Structure 1
């Protein structure tokens, strides 16, 4: 009889885990769920089921106590051995969630890693690199290192270029500003960064409204600088140009006119190919924000408006559930 009870406990535990897995997202909307609650609940249910099942086994009382004591010692040993890193990463993950330093879809830089956030986990944060690969960084690392977060409402992209001293800085500034204008950047300015042995280093800044286009716009800006300097006869001395010319002094290091490219209907955006997973994460964050905003706006509305807003909230909730299921399935 005790063996049957233990089997029933195991069966109930499995059913509860499946219930949490399949129905948890339908019981609470995305705005009311706090991070990692399902994971904590599953662990609690499994541990409780294991101890109850052992306690109901048809064994002598001393044997069951020994088994339970052994499991307790093993569990304590695992926690003790991994507590330093495990707890530190968990606390760092909670801190990052509470402070909202960055969220899904944000463009971040930490150490040598540059990419967009795809997932904020309890123990690690996943970012998608420029190579389209995905890397998981421990949350403790992100809490200890300086993390550069690109603002969503616009960011300055920049490039450095060295121009020889024989070219007036007024001409260089005019050419660089023209290159930024061709890229449709706003609030452009040129900063004279330093005097090198062979040239003057200039840095061009331009405001990019859509931070998600950072990669493609930076490449476009470099191309525009090359084109403008070629058109205006300005030599680029980057990274270093040893000006020891043993031929005609009128000869310049300027490339010949390139072939004209055929106009394209639409330029391929690098970010669409590289950051597909990060775009999905950003879309989920925006849907959750929209759901929260609509939920807060229900107060003070008449019944007809509440019904209309309620339908929108339900529709967003369905879309969130579908996307999260797809995300977990992949």
Structure 2
């Protein structure tokens, strides 16, 4: 039987290991509370960076515990190698696609090529960004469908992002050679101006055998109405040209109709106006993207107000502190509700 002295020596040899194990466990528990549990109502996307920090701290803690084991250096190296082998096995036997999308998601958060609510074109997909997830990015298309694209797809294909300060919209049409191009240019610029476009310009795209192809373009400052503005531009082009008695039709069609050579095929002007009071197309198509953009904007504004209030609270007098403290509490409640709403919509 081991003597009491031998047992005490064995206990003393494990004492540093026990102390470090307790300290590491307590530190990790405290870190989990401060980094994750305290902010668990913010949703997985907001917690992603905090979860990475917690993972790093856990690995450091495990390494410290292993280094404190009262064993020989060769045994300690074997344990560290075993841990590395286990971690490597997890990566090897798990789906490579998952980790590829995870790393792609980290890259997208670092580079930030687009934000929530922005219009993007990637491959055959066009829509507004609803959510930037850990493994995929969700966009809402023109037909209101939600499409989840893997993050690896997002970084391996060129992404076209509509600039928030404005974008160029355009339309093309073919007209006969019987009308001078200067007249067409002026009329098309009028159509662009009527639908709210600025800095409009006209390009002659092609001189065909029977017709000239024109392209009218202009800057749209309110990008959220891009879909409706394209339709409105086409409508204004029709009205402007028809009101000027200019026929929008291929001249070859004249050889197939039994009418006089000077006849024009132009619709009669209607007295009834188009009802623009109904909800815009974008409100129906991109409703979820609109809500996500608005919610993210509100979170940023409230967070900024909280920071400003905390700074004011440090310099305030006693009478002002109560008012600022109440304001701060209300702002934090509003922020918590918005974060909970975001987490609920992302699940």
- The normalised TM-score by structure 1 is 0.72
| Alpha-carbon distance change, 130 to 186 in structure 1, aligned in 2, over 3 angstroms | same
Residue number among 250, 258, 266 corresponding to 1:255 in the alignment:
266
Contact 2:42 2:340 in 1 (8 A): no
| Alpha-carbon distance change, 196 to 311 in structure 1, aligned in 2, over 3 angstroms | farther
Equivalent position SS for 2:255: coil
| Alpha-carbon distance change, 174 to 307 in structure 1, aligned in 2, over 3 angstroms | farther
| Alpha-carbon distance change, 244 to 266 in structure 1, aligned in 2, over 3 angstroms | closer
Unaligned runs of 5+ in 2: 1-28, 59-81
Q: Deviations over 1:162-186 (max 9, x none)?
A: 2222211111111111111221222
Equivalent position SS for 1:104: coil
Q: How many residues align?
A: 279
| 1:35 maps to 2:45 | no
| Alpha-carbon distance change, 28 to 270 in structure 1, aligned in 2, over 3 angstroms | closer
Contact 1:104 1:119 in 2 (8 A): yes
| 1:110 maps to 2:128 | no
Contact 2:41 2:340 in 1 (8 A): no
What is the alpha-carbon distance in structure 1 between the residues aligned to residue 343 and residue 275 of structure 2? 38
Structure number with greater Rg is 2
Equivalent position SS for 2:301: helix
Residue in 2 aligned with 1:52? none
| Alpha-carbon distance change, 107 to 259 in structure 1, aligned in 2, over 3 angstroms | same
Q: Deviations over 1:197-239 (max 9, x none)?
A: 33222221222221111111111111111111111122224xx
Equivalent position SS for 1:98: helix
Matches within 5 A, 1:212-291: 212-237=224-249, 242-243=252-253, 245=255, 247=258, 248-252=260-264, 254-262=265-273, 264=275, 266-291=277-302
| 1:126 maps to 2:138 | yes
What is the alpha-carbon distance in structure 1 between the residues aligned to residue 324 and residue 212 of structure 2? 63
Residue number among 70, 76, 86 corresponding to 2:98 in the alignment:
86
Q: Please identify which structure carries the higher helix content.
A: 2
Equivalent position SS for 1:35: helix
Range with greater deviation from structure 2 (119-128 or 258-267): 258-267
What is the alpha-carbon distance in structure 2 between the residues aligned to residue 244 and residue 121 of structure 1? 57
Q: Deviations over 1:136-170 (max 9, x none)?
A: 11111111211111112221211122222221111
By how many angstroms is 1:283 displaced? 1.3
Cα RMSD (Å): 3.5
Contact 2:205 2:213 in 1 (8 A): yes
Contact 1:29 1:317 in 2 (8 A): no
What is the alpha-carbon distance in structure 1 between the residues aligned to residue 346 and residue 98 of structure 2? 23
What is the alpha-carbon distance in structure 1 between the residues aligned to residue 118 and residue 105 of structure 2? 16
Contact 2:310 2:328 in 1 (8 A): no
What is the alpha-carbon distance in structure 2 between the residues aligned to residue 192 and residue 265 of structure 1? 32
Residue in 2 aligned with 1:141? 153
Equivalent position SS for 2:48: coil
Matches within 5 A, 1:15-34: 24=37, 26=39, 33-34=46-47
- The normalised TM-score by structure 2 is 0.69
Contact 1:215 1:271 in 2 (8 A): yes
Residue number among 193, 209, 213 corresponding to 1:197 in the alignment:
209
| Alpha-carbon distance change, 328 to 110 in structure 1, aligned in 2, over 3 angstroms | closer
By how many angstroms is 1:113 displaced? 0.7
Equivalent position SS for 2:284: helix
